[in-house]
Structure 1
Amino acid sequence: MVAAVLLWLGFLIMPKRILMKLERYLAAVLFLSFFLTGCSSFKVAKPTPTDDFGSPEYLDISNHNFFHEGPELPLQEIDRISLTAAPIENIFAIGESVVMVTKNGRVYANRINGKKIRGKLKLENNSEGFATLHNDRYLIFALKLAQKTLQCYDLIRGKYLWKVNAGLQGGAPLVADSSVYVISRFKHASRYSLASGRRLWKKRTDSFAHTTPGIVNDLVVFGTDEGKVKALFRKNGEAAWETELKGPIYNAPIFDGRTIYISSVGNTVTALNPENGTIEWSRMIDGGSWRTPALKDTTLIVTSSNGKIYALNTRDGAELWIHSIAAPIGTSPVIVDDLIYFGGADNFIYAVTLADGNPVWQAELRGRVRTNPVVSGDYLLVGSENKYVYVFEHAAERSQK
């Protein structure tokens, strides 16, 4: 206390010229500290001979939450990565590393099952946001509240390629045909160059939206808070068609090359004709669907807020089976070969069979599971709201090491 008083008196009697120099010095120190904290960097990906940005003719179509193979059951937890906040909807596995974006605006890279931190990054304004990984190299951020709300980070060079103001964002970006597509919260859609961040077009949509778009032939398709499905031409953003469904749409559409499938909070799953948006079939489900479905062959997997997971035939929407848990389902379903993984608000991650929905495995975590599971080689990774990302491996693999 005495020291504080003496310091205060010293400032009072200090010559103005010296005091001004001291203030400038302290300001410089604070700025440098903030700059270094906010601009930490890391490198994760390895250089490859492939084209960095793709080409206008190349479409990077989503895998529809489907992995051809993954670890065998039963699984056991082998690692738990601690974060400063809950991870966002998606985490990203790149080789032996995992990249995790948190809800307090941090990005972490760790070795999977290695206890080694590869690096960390602080997003602008500590903003929560969304992220998409392209080509295992480019991490594109869409931020909810920042001056530069759309940003591209190169995981090979370990630096930002560009940052632009694309409006306040409400969903993860889509990367396709050398471009980044975003649907901003306040009634507009935009397309940007992946290489430079230059805006190629911007169009008003007359609807609020919190979603990720999908590519359908020469169209970009997305849902809105009003329950409308809108299709714009990729080339110039001009409107192609619009179809009104029941309830807000917060997930991305799925396109199998013939038909668009989309689910809504209004308890419906709908199939649309990509040429004109006409409804081919629509069926009711028990509970709203907040997360993007999964697709394998002719089986569409949809989860609901009432704890039900549905398998539907893509030809006519016929129900193949239903499985229920005692809590809302908090993730997208993820198909791994002949299994489906999903997480619940009861703190569990589950696995059921794709063929008949038979439960075959579950594990209890320490928080609600709202981050989508992801597979990387022999590992299954999933995040929960208790600020951890869990790593699972086939139990026999661990016993042999």
Structure 2
Amino acid sequence: MNVRTKQILLGFLITCILASPALVAGADWNMFHENPQRTGYLEQPADFTPTVWYFSTQGSIKSSPAILNKVAYFGSSDGHVYAVNLEDCSKLWDYKTDGAVVSSPSISGDYLYVGSKDGYIYAQDIKNGNVKWKYKTGNSIESSPLIQNNMIFIGSNDGRVYSIYKSNGTKNWEYNTGNAVKSSPVIINDYLIIGSDDGKIYALNMETGDKKWEYTTGDKVQSSPAVMNNVAYVGSDDGKLYAININNGTLKWNYDMGKPVYSSPTIDTNDNSLFVGADNGKMVCLDTRNGVEKWSYNATGAVKTSAAIVKNKIVFGSDGGTVYIVNKYNGNLEWNYNPGYGIINQAIQSSPAVYGNMIYIGADDGSLYALNNDKMNGPTSVYAYYIGGTLVILAIFLVAVKIIRKRSKKAE
């Protein structure tokens, strides 16, 4: 083989390697709980320089960020949808709706789709936030959209599940459950699985909206389902987690958490493990096959967030104001982060998104936090300055009191 031939073959090999999606793809997290099955799991590196920071808005952040090409997109209760650069925490754009945005955005192509408590579903250009179209439902929206092919599926507090054409914002079909739909849908085998505040879990034909089956729990179903191996896993305010056969809507097993389950299950597809939180502060790991508990971890405050898997750990927040990172195999605490340092605690009800070794999660203090899982640290929050300033003022006050007392004694 001559030198010229070797050079051609080497060039061809390098081109193939560089073109390989496994090497150049970023670890994008395009929607609530990462994928249409809502498993909350992504195993892929991210190609950017990680930095810890926080970005502040004027309202609580319950929306979970969607991430694409090193940009985080999320909503705030101040009514805005934000786009923030992950590398330097700079705001790229924001858009004001007429209601709080607790819905989590989903991204498809050059547009993001998100609901607002003003009752509209918005389609926005990810480059500048310009609205392509918006569709009005009959009440506020807390559900997060799911995108499949050319359709958007989302629930509304008007009690309906909607199928909307993502290209132009016109309605394909709607299904009336009779009560608010805060749960976010999943799709499996051409069926949409979603819960309702009427206490039922529904399987709807994604093409027509026709009901295949329904399963009745003991209370509201605000938890969003996760699916694996033809089983839907979903929590209920009756305190139970349900495993439902997707083919016929029959119960496979349930597990009593003891308190309402607003958290959506997270599934480790490699280990037959399911992680879910409850209002009693427990994060529990269950065997997906039979519902047997593997371990549980007690957090401070209710766990309403849905966990995300990052390497051999899971990450979740609590109403006690702490982000927990625990070992997914045994439930042991690896590290945690509290922006209020255990003194000024604001609930964390946003569900985390993972990008490479970074964790992004919102809090009721109005900030989105970027945490480094490898270095096990987060940013110095604004509360450090509040607490430090308070301590300085207190120290000055105590010194002043001491001086006044000394002078009083001398005067006597």
Using the size of structure 2 for normalisation, the TM-score is 0.75
Once the two structures are superposed, residues 308-350 of structure 1 have per-residue CA deviations (whole angstroms, 9 ceiling, x without a partner) of 1111111111111111123212311111121000111221111
1:160: how far off? 1.9
Count residues in correspondence: 332
Aligned-residue CA RMSD (Å)? 2.3
The alignment partner of 1:131 has SS state of: coil
Once the two structures are superposed, residues 170-192 of structure 1 have per-residue CA deviations (whole angstroms, 9 ceiling, x without a partner) of 41122113201122222322211
After superposition, where does 1:107-186 map in structure 2 within 5 Å? 107-123=81-97, 125-135=98-108, 137-146=110-119, 149-156=120-127, 158-168=129-139, 169-186=141-158
1:161 maps to amino acid:
K
In 2, Cα distance between equivalents of 1:269 and 1:91: 25
In 1, Cα distance between equivalents of 2:198 and 2:177: 11
Which of 319, 325, 331 matches 2:305? Answer: 331
- Contact 2:263 / 2:303 at 8 angstroms: preserved in 1? no
1:381: how far off? 1.6
Which of 347, 351, 376 matches 1:368? Answer: 347
The higher relative CO (CA closer than 8 Å, separation ≥ 6) is in 1
Once the two structures are superposed, residues 227-286 of structure 1 have per-residue CA deviations (whole angstroms, 9 ceiling, x without a partner) of 111121111111211111122110111111321111111111111111110111112113
- Contact 1:79 / 1:113 at 8 angstroms: preserved in 2? no
Q: Which residue of 2 aligns with 1:105?
A: 79
In 2, Cα distance between equivalents of 1:224 and 1:78: 37
In 2, Cα distance between equivalents of 1:119 and 1:327: 34
2:36 maps to amino acid:
I
Q: Which residue of 1 aligns with 2:264?
A: 292
- Cα 1:326/1:87, change in 2 over 3 Å: closer
In 2, Cα distance between equivalents of 1:63 and 1:253: 7
Please, which moves more after superposition, 264-273 or 150-159? 150-159
Once the two structures are superposed, residues 206-246 of structure 1 have per-residue CA deviations (whole angstroms, 9 ceiling, x without a partner) of 33322212212121121111211112111111121111112
Q: Which residue of 1 aligns with 2:375?
A: 395
1:144 maps to amino acid:
K
1:94: how far off? 2.2
- Contact 2:112 / 2:126 at 8 angstroms: preserved in 1? yes
Q: Which residue of 2 aligns with 1:62?
A: 37
- Contact 1:131 / 1:139 at 8 angstroms: preserved in 2? no
The alignment partner of 2:229 has SS state of: coil
1:161: how far off? 1.9
Q: Which residue of 2 aligns with 1:10?
A: none
1:289: how far off? 0.9
- Contact 1:365 / 1:384 at 8 angstroms: preserved in 2? no
In 1, Cα distance between equivalents of 2:69 and 2:170: 30
1:303: how far off? 0.5
Q: Which residue of 2 aligns with 1:20?
A: none
The alignment partner of 2:93 has SS state of: strand
In 2, Cα distance between equivalents of 1:98 and 1:132: 10
In 2, Cα distance between equivalents of 1:170 and 1:64: 19
1:150 maps to amino acid:
I
Which of 319, 327, 346 matches 2:293? Answer: 319
The alignment partner of 2:285 has SS state of: strand
After superposition, where does 1:2-401 map in structure 2 within 5 Å? 61-68=36-43, 78-123=52-97, 125-135=98-108, 137-146=110-119, 149-156=120-127, 158-168=129-139, 169-297=141-269, 298-366=272-340, 367-393=346-372, 394-395=374-375
1:196: how far off? 1.3
In 2, Cα distance between equivalents of 1:157 and 1:391: 22
- Cα 1:328/1:63, change in 2 over 3 Å: closer
- Cα 1:142/1:272, change in 2 over 3 Å: same
Using the size of structure 1 for normalisation, the TM-score is 0.77
Gaps of 5+ in 2: 1-34, 341-345, 379-412
Once the two structures are superposed, residues 381-400 of structure 1 have per-residue CA deviations (whole angstroms, 9 ceiling, x without a partner) of 221111111112233999xx
In 1, Cα distance between equivalents of 2:58 and 2:220: 31
Gaps of 5+ in 1: 1-59
In 2, Cα distance between equivalents of 1:392 and 1:170: 26
- Cα 1:346/1:203, change in 2 over 3 Å: closer
In 1, Cα distance between equivalents of 2:279 and 2:100: 27
- Contact 1:70 / 1:380 at 8 angstroms: preserved in 2? no
In 2, Cα distance between equivalents of 1:351 and 1:205: 37
- Cα 1:96/1:316, change in 2 over 3 Å: same
- Contact 2:137 / 2:158 at 8 angstroms: preserved in 1? no
